[in-house]
Amino acid sequence: MAEDLRDVMVKGDEEALGPHIGVFTARSTDGRILKVSQDGGIVSAVAIYGLEEGIFDGFVASVADPDDPEEPWKPRPVVITDPDEVLEAAGTKYTYCPNVSALKEAITTKACESIMFVGTPCQVRAVRKLQIVPLGMRHFPEKVKLVMGIICMENFPYEGLRSIVEELCGVWMREVAKFDIGKGKFWVFTKDGDVVSIPIDETHPFEGEPCHVCTDYCAELSDITAGSVGSPDGWSTVIVRTPKGLEILQDMVDKGLLEVKSIEEVKPGLGLVEKLAQVKKNKNAKEIEEREELNLPRPGEVFTKV
Amino acid sequence: MAETVELSPTTRHEGHGKLVLLVDDEGYVERAFYLNTSAIRGFEAMAKGRPAEFVQVAVMRICGICQATHGTASAEAFERAMGIEPPKAGRQLRELCALGNRIQSHVLHQLLVLDDFVEDEKEKVEAIKRIQQIRKIGQYVVDVVGGEGIHPPNIRIGGMASNITETARRKLYRRLREARDLMEEQHEFMMDAIESYCEEEGIDMETFGKHDQPFLATHPTYGDPEKIDFDRVVELRPIEYYGKENLEIALEHNGQIPLYDGVPVEVGPRARYAVFDAVDARGVLYIHVYRSMETLAAIDRAMNILDELNTSAPTLAEWEPKAGFGIGVHEAPRGTNVHMAEVDEKGIVKNYRIIAASTWNFPTVEKAIEGEKADYAEVIMRCYDI
Ligand SMILES: Cc1cc2nc3c(=O)[nH]c(=O)nc-3n(C[C@H](O)[C@H](O)[C@H](O)COP(=O)(O)OP(=O)(O)OC[C@H]3O[C@@H](n4cnc5c(N)ncnc54)[C@H](O)[C@@H]3O)c2cc1C
């Protein structure tokens, strides 16, 4: 008998993590996913499961070509309708990718009617806003069936990422097999098996400005959030927020697609997620205050200031 | 002594109009003036000095009901001006997109004229439900193929911005099948309604609202500039057409009056059947009949295109600006829609002219009303859906 997620999940601090039903640690049981996924392959596993089961008919994600002749690793948003293509999008690209922009294509020329979306917290917010006020997006709100958020402290503009990799790490963009952030470092894994890392502090100057006024670490408006923080290497921290999200994950556990553990059994555990979420909130709240002193608008309240 | 009757604004049709009728003692219309009272918006003037790509998108805003036709006619005009050849799949998708629009626009008109023919409230509600279902499917075609139900952005100079997926093609086909069944029912309903209306009113459908003007049409489902001889087209200012003796009336008509061989012509569904199927049904209510038949034909043609479409073929030609002049013609729901573009070597518009479909029909509506009872003036006008 497969585990009941309700027995495995714990509740964390909603102030830091946003509203949720529970948190646990998990990874995909499919070796092909784990080979290419960033962490536990939760995002890819949900997408493949949903497309195969017919719960979704489109998956909006981001794909990058490491060998692009002009801009290697520059991601572009895609609408994936074939489960066999989901893994092309796996892995974290530490640079902006306008996933929201692909939603239009999904509901028009691709005629999708039940979409799974994945994106950073800011993108998750944008999708929710569009569902409330679907300006220029008629028939959109009801077609989004699942919104997955990925935990995010900050992101880099493409040239910023390139500078970090090529100048600070001394690795040619084309050589990169995988990027990662963890244990206080920015990591680059090359195709030839080298591993280079630099202290995360050195990357701060290259962060995108908008990230400094964002107080959402855990994609608080998602159905399900996945991140690496809190769980061991190769595992993901999963935050379940809605009954719909829970239903999907439970069915995946029942079908043997996910291996799950209590986050209380693993290191570094939920405490670190809460801590970092709070760090982002506090740091960026200060930035917002400073901007207000300069009479700049509060993010999200741009329209109230006339 | 003839009496002047004014109907202003005329209702239950697209756009804004006013009817001025000179009515004799027995209630028959001696002379009719059908005036276009829409404000002049100056699209032709706005186009000047702007890039072709902008103008092609902007002119879609001429109409909120039939934007696909303006986008298409404009793209066609620029393509001819600059020698651009859109790929086959681009052409097919463009036709398909506009057919979706034709389907929804045609049945929308059946909704607007419902009150002319049907009294029973329950029947009306049933018809409205059916019509809205069909419209939804028409709009769905535009949404998917055009990228947006209103002002479809995929229509571009050079073809269509993107192809549709196999899944989209299947979905469209299935929905159009549904539309086919609904439309057959709706067509029968319309035919019955018109027939019983004629019986009740003691109207002879063959002669009611008859006029002797020629018909103009260029293509059953798309548009073809080769089918119009532009040397035979003149556009008159209202004062020229109505004469100084009708100065006040002329001043109220916004826009020009296009004539073919010096006379008003009829464009639209009946004209297309007249030109391409050699039908010659002169009673004005036949326009409703042909509009309804044409909706069925549009659904069939749309399914045909889906059948033939290669969803992995390119849809957009690459192009470089080039100086030239071109005419683009598309058969809008309401008739032959003509855009003419002159561009310089940088692709900037030097001159832009539009003869929108309904414009042709304004003076023809007058001819159809003349000789009939004034009470029927609006019923006749509404046959034209302008
Ligand atoms: C910019 C960025 C910053 C992040 N920061 C943190 C952090 O501070 N702490 C933390 O715990 N986790 C962070 N993550 C999340 C983490 O890297 C993994 O994406 C997450 O754990 C999911 O792993 P997975 O194995 O389940 O996903 P996979 O199965 O590998 O799938 C990842 C999905 O994310 C999508 N994706 C990748 N890059 C982007 C992008 N740039 N924009 C939008 N979507 C994208 C892909 O399309 C893919 O479908 C960050 C991710 C990004 C993109």
Closest CA of chain B from A227, distance in Å: 33
The shares of helix, strand and coil residues in chain A, as percent rounded to the nearest 5, are: 40, 20, 40
pLDDT at A300: 65
Contact B143 A107 (CB under 8 A): yes
Is residue B293 within 8 angstroms of chain A, CB to CB?
A: no
Contact A111 B168 (CB under 8 A): yes
Residue range B268-292, pLDDT digits in tens: 999 999 999 999 999 999 999 999 9
Is residue A247 within 8 angstroms of chain B, CB to CB?
A: no
pLDDT at A264: 97
Residue range B32-55, pLDDT digits in tens: 999 999 888 899 999 999 999 999
Three-class secondary structure of residue B381 per DSSP: helix
Q: What percent of chain B has pLDDT over 70?
A: 100
pLDDT means per 10 residues, chain A with 306 residues, are 90 97 98 97 98 98 95 97 97 97 95 97 96 90 97 97 96 95 95 96 95 96 98 97 98 98 96 97 94 83 46
Contact A111 B172 (CB under 8 A): yes
The CA A37 to ligand 1 mean position distance, Å, reads 9
Residue B131's domain comprises: 85-213+279-318
Residue of A59, A108, A112, A135 for testing the chain B interface, max B β-carbons within 10 Å: A108
Q: Is B338 exposed, middle or buried (0-12, 13-18, 19+ CB in 10 A)?
A: buried
A179 φ, ψ (degrees, to nearest 5): -110, 155
The answer to the question of residue B15 being in a domain is no
CATH code, domain carrying B146? 1.10.645.10
Tokens of A111: 């005629």
- The response to whether residue A228 sits with its C-beta less than 6 Å from ligand 1 reads yes
pLDDT at A305: 41
The answer to the question of residue B299 being in a domain is yes
- pLDDT bucket at B1, cuts 50 / 70 / 90: low
Q: Is A178 exposed, middle or buried (0-12, 13-18, 19+ CB in 10 A)?
A: middle
Contact B143 A57 (CB under 8 A): no
Residue B332 vs residues A105, B65, B131, B220: alpha-carbon distances, Å? 26, 10, 19, 10
Three-class secondary structure of residue B37 per DSSP: coil
Tell me the fold of A5-154+216-266. Aspartate Aminotransferase; domain 2 (3.40.640)
The answer to the question of residue B167 being in a domain is yes
pLDDT at A301: 59
Candidate of A36, A38, A270 to mutate for ligand 1, largest count of ligand atoms within 8 Å of Cβ: A38
CA pair distance B197, B205, nearest whole angstrom: 10
Number of neighbouring beta carbons within 10 Å of residue B129? 11
Q: Which of A145-159, B2-16, B306-320 has the lowest mean pLDDT?
A: B2-16
CA pair distance B383, B362, nearest whole angstrom: 12
Three-class secondary structure of residue A181 per DSSP: strand
The answer to the question of residue B150 being in a domain is yes
CA pair distance A19, A23, nearest whole angstrom: 11
Is residue A195 within 8 angstroms of chain B, CB to CB?
A: no
Cis peptide before B9 (omega within 30 of 0): yes
What are the domain boundaries of chain A?
Answer: 5-154+216-266
Find the CB nearest B164 among A104, A109, A136: A109
CA pair distance A194, B299, nearest whole angstrom: 60
pLDDT at B14: 79
For the residues B133-144, what does the mean pLDDT come to?
97
B363: CB partners within 8 A, 6+ apart: B34, B241, B257, B259, B264
The answer to the question of residue B194 being in a domain is yes
Rounded CA Rg of chain B? 21
Q: Is B232 exposed, middle or buried (0-12, 13-18, 19+ CB in 10 A)?
A: exposed
Contacts with A, B 146-165, CB within 8 Å: 146-149, 154, 162-165
Structural domains counted in chain B: 1
Q: Indicate the helix (H) or strand (E) that contains B173.
A: helix B166-201
Three-class secondary structure of residue B364 per DSSP: helix
Contact A138 B143 (CB under 8 A): yes
pLDDT at B64: 87
Closest CA to B323 of B347, B302, B304: B347
Q: Which of A297-306, B108-117, B169-178, B350-359 has the lowest mean pLDDT?
A: A297-306
Atom from ligand 1 closest to the CA of residue A227: 21
